[in-house]
Structure 1
Amino acid sequence: MLNNSQNLLDSRIPPSNRLEKLNGNLKDFYSIRINNQWRIIFIWNNGNASNFEIIDYNEIMKKLKNIHPGEVLTEEFLIPLEISPYRLAKNLNIPQTRISEITKGNRRITADTALRLGQYFGNSAKFWLGIQDDFDIEDEFLIKKSILESIKPFVTKKVA
């Protein structure tokens, strides 16, 4: 999610992120805690996060499954903020089935939904579309991995 943050506030909005400014020799850094197991430490500069370090408190980080944006919406926003999908749909002025299908992982977050979610939660629409794009790209890559590996990269001819 951090790579889709358009500003530092996007990183703060999901309550479970627990964004904090660090002190001491890490005074230029921010951190986001994840599951009380991991912490991502980074510098926020000119609208971008850089100098990432992932700290795993219990074990070496394992590859996570591809996470649907609906799971992010549910786990990082709805549950911590105690908002039901029905209430969210009503507050966004959209059909309840749209939110329900997104949270079940059966529907994509569209530009329209991203704009509404961004307005409601106080983050950017690009944050939501970025999460959807990340999911779609990884999902498609896993499906087409062998085809993609068979494609030879284009090589330019050097001109003397």
Structure 2
Amino acid sequence: MCASKTIIEAELLPPVHPGEFLREEFGIGSAVTLVQVADAAGIDLEKLAAILAEQADFDGDTDLRLARFFGVSEGLFLGLQHQFELDIARRAAGAALDAIIPLQTAAE
């Protein structure tokens, strides 16, 4: 791994859990209460609280319900969840991922 890549990785912000995005962008806890969102969207209160606390992940049902409630695109929260998981995996793999030789390169 080259020095410039190491510096860039060291300066990266930590991955953002979709629960943080939900709190910050939709004001749950300030503009609207957790109970209001859970009741209106038909989501278990404990499940929604766990997502907001970054202790649980989004699933398809929760994504659809919150997308409908907040008037955003279906798949928004699942996309954020997948990006979060990829960021975590990329950081964990580190140099091992860089050592993988792509098939086209290996065949040449």
2:23 corresponds to 1:74: yes
Show the counterpart of 1:117.
66
Question: Counting strand residues as a fraction of each chain, which structure ranks higher?
Answer: 1
Q: Normalization by structure 1: what TM-score?
A: 0.55
Displacement of 1:107 in angstroms is: 0.8
1:44-59 correspondence runs (5 A): none
Displacement of 1:130 in angstroms is: 1.1
1:23-42 correspondence runs (5 A): none
Displacement of 1:113 in angstroms is: 0.5
Question: Residues 80 and 96 of structure 1: is their aligned pair in 2 closer, same or farther, counting only changes over 3 Å?
Answer: closer
Show the counterpart of 1:152.
101
Question: Residues 129 and 82 of structure 1: is their aligned pair in 2 closer, same or farther, counting only changes over 3 Å?
Answer: same
2:33 equivalent among 76, 84, 105 = 84
Q: Which has the higher contact order (CA 8 A, sep 6+)?
A: 2
SS at match of 1:155: helix
Displacement of 1:104 in angstroms is: 0.6
The separation in 2 between residues aligned to 1:103 and 1:79, in whole angstroms, is: 9
Code of the residue aligned with 1:68 in structure 2: it is H
Two-structure CA RMSD over aligned residues (Å): 2.0
Show the counterpart of 2:77.
128
- Give CA deviations for 1:1-37 in whole Å, capped at 9, x if unaligned: xxxxxxxxxxxxxxxxxxxxxxxxxxxxxxxxxxxxx
The separation in 2 between residues aligned to 1:123 and 1:149, in whole angstroms, is: 36
The separation in 1 between residues aligned to 2:40 and 2:29, in whole angstroms, is: 17
Query: How many aligned residue pairs are there?
Result: 97
- Give CA deviations for 1:87-131 in whole Å, capped at 9, x if unaligned: 211111121011100001111111111100110010112211111
Question: Counting helix residues as a fraction of each chain, which structure ranks higher?
Answer: 2
Q: Normalization by structure 2: what TM-score?
A: 0.79
Asked if 2 retains the 8 angstrom alpha-carbon contact of 1:101 and 1:107, the reply is: yes
